[in-house]
Amino acid sequence: YTVFFKTLILKCEKRIKDNYTNKQKLISISYVLFRDLKFRNVQFEIKNTMYLNLDSVISNKKGDTFSLCLIYYDVAKAINVKLEFCMFDDYCMLRMLENNDELYIDLSGNGNLLSKDEVKLLLQINYINFDKLITLLDNIPGLNISVFEDNYCCGAGAQNLIHNKENSLNKFFDIM
């Protein structure tokens, strides 16, 4: 992972000019990861553990949204762009908060940058059951989830907790 990560950062840094905004830096990361390196999101084989193992994701250039978010997050952090994870039922995105503006990175859509309204529409299309999600998350002690009036929530671990609430809580937060 280390060699791949350093190479990925170097490729991104070559595309990024000194005066680039954080948004332009994110566009550069998306370009390198999805156009230059040809990474792809695996939507229909999400239960296959091959797409969760980062070594396998890197060698096959295919991963689930969470694995791709981890890679993207690490690169953004290395070039000083602060992101946070946003977990939805079976869906994961990254979010950048900057100057009272929210920008989302959709790794299932080749790193497309989306507004809050576009994310809301995307999630409605993908039939996210917000009532189920919020009910489940409310029952987990110590988990801090923000829910907004337009039905999106952000918090580390929501996706993983829904699938394996009992076994994954501590393991997931240990890696974050």
pLDDT value for 173: 35
| Rounded mean pLDDT, 137-166 | 51
| Rounded mean pLDDT, 133-154 | 59
- Name the percent of the chain in helix, strand, coil, to the closest 5: 55, 15, 30
In the DSSP assignment, the letter for residue 20 is: -
Q: What angle do CA 140, 117, 83 make, to 5 degrees?
A: 60
Distance, C-alpha 174 to centroid of its chain: 17
- pLDDT per residue as tens digits for the range 43-92: 655 566 776 778 888 999 988 888 899 999 999 999 999 999 988 766 78
Tokens found for residue 49: 């553990």
Q: Are strands 40-41 and 62-63 parallel, antiparallel or unpaired?
A: parallel
Asked if 74 and 51 count as a contact pair (C-beta separation under 8 A), the reply is no
- Can you list the alpha helix ranges (DSSP code H) found in 31-148? 54-60, 65-78, 116-125, 130-138
Average pLDDT, the chain: 76
| Rounded mean pLDDT, 12-39 | 94
Q: Does residue 153 have a pLDDT over 60?
A: no
Percent share of the chain, pLDDT over 70:
64
CA-based nearest residue to 123, from 135, 108, 110, 136: 108
Cα–Cα distance between 44 and 42 in angstroms, integer? 6
Query: Which pTM value belongs to this model?
Result: 0.69
What is the three-class DSSP state of 152?
Answer: coil
